[in-house]
A and B are shown apart, each in its own frame.
Chain A
Amino acid sequence: MDTMTIDVFTRDVLGKKVETLRRKGITPLHLYGKGMSSRSLQADGSTLIKLISQVGHHIPVYLKLDGGKERELAFVREIQRHPVTNRILHADFYRVDVRQSIKGEVPITLVGEAPAVQVHRGTLIQNLHRISVECLPMDMPERIEVDISILVELNQSLRVSDLTLGPGITITSDLEEVIVRVSPPRAELPTAERPGTVQEEQEKQ
């Protein structure tokens, strides 16, 4: 995947007044990193939403500053969202050096079908959705694919230690952590305990 670029502009509106920017469809940003002072920036809200949905927190992007030639390689660090509407309120970008390894969280994608689910009707529960790795910024994988077709028995699980990643990528997550497991099916409720009894129980109490 080619490194994406987003146009960002220096922001003069600071503090609580940034709400006026949000009403115009502009999202406030911050850029910071090693050896630089934090910069207040802004970008078009809809462009930022598209960018974040594609790169997440683990794919580097170029920030093109004030429409000029100056650009910075950065990762999306923290995203503040509205608790109810989930609208992006503010985003932090972390500038990185291409030659220095950094830590990042890469999403896990399950591939294949687990025979334990199809044959034994178990439930596939994914405990870990992101894995922490350390590598050079441009080597950061888009996703880590975990093949679940080896889950044949109930209660079988895959751990972080079962993963094999490419050269130059080190796992920093706990190796004993369970990524995915197949839990046995719950016994189906007898007919007598089916819905309708909740109200009756409440009435009894």
Chain B
Amino acid sequence: MFQPKRIKYRKAHRGRRRGNSLAGSQVTFGDYGLKATSPAWVTARQIEAARRAITRHFRRGGQVWIRVFPDKPVTSKPAETRMGSGKGAVDHWVAVVRPGRILFEVAGVGQELAKEALELASQKLPVNTTVISRSDGQAASE
């Protein structure tokens, strides 16, 4: 699973997820992409599950690019712990995804296969998504 190799600060504030994605909203590397249309924290585990769903559906061939990285630590307190005594330990890592962000890109496969694989990947993610193609950024089905 993805997680940063080294970090400057162990724990981070939650922050806000207002607005749309400012960068990474166009298909840049591959031919088709999976674009988020709602905001969410996507965990490293969800990203890995989605990646596996894509590569397994391709069986052989095809190339996958992951356009998000979980660089935000999320902390949690142990079960049955009283409130107070500081912030909990780092539990997992998330990527902050805002609407418009491209999550995955694929190339080297046909449109149908790419669309099926990206829709399977979408099932593993906590965001609403749409499949788009490189040609004009429109939905691949159009």
Give A residues with C-beta under 8 Å from B: 53, 81-84, 86, 121-126, 129, 183, 185-189, 194-195, 198, 202
Contacts and interface: CB of A to CB of B under 8 A. Distances in A.
How would you classify the secondary structure of chain A's contact residues: helix, strand, loop or mixed?
loop
Interface residues of B, number: 32
12 contacts: A83-B22, A83-B101, A84-B100, A86-B137, A121-B61, A122-B61, A129-B134, A185-B60, A186-B55, A186-B60, A188-B59, A202-B49
A83 B61 contact: no
Given A83-B21, A123-B108, A187 B56 contact: no
Interface in B40-68: 45, 48-49, 52-53, 55-56, 58-63
A185 B59 CA distance: 10
Nearest to B35: A84
Interface string B1-27: 000000000000000000011100110
Contact of B62 (A123, A189, A195, A198): A123
Interface of B: 20-22, 25-26, 31, 35, 37, 45, 48-49, 52-53, 55-56, 58-63, 99-101, 107-109, 132, 134, 136-138
Given A81-B137, A186-B61, A198-B53, 12 more contacts: A81-B25, A82-B20, A84-B20, A84-B100, A123-B61, A123-B63, A125-B108, A129-B134, A183-B63, A183-B108, A189-B56, A194-B56
A183 B61 CA distance: 8
Query: Which 7 residue pairs are nearest across A and B when measured between Cβ atoms?
Result: A83-B100, A83-B25, A123-B108, A123-B61, A86-B137, A84-B100, A83-B20
A84 B134 contact: no
A90 to B, nearest CB: 15
A189 B59 contact: yes
A188 B138 contact: no
B67 to A, nearest CB: 13
Contacts of B55: 186
A195 B56 contact: yes
Given A126-B107, A198-B49, A198-B52, A86 B138 contact: yes
A79 B92 CA distance: 38
Contacts of B62: 123
Contacts of B49: 198, 202
B49 to A, nearest CB: 5
A198 B49 CA distance: 6
Contacts of B45: 202
A202 to B, nearest CB: 6
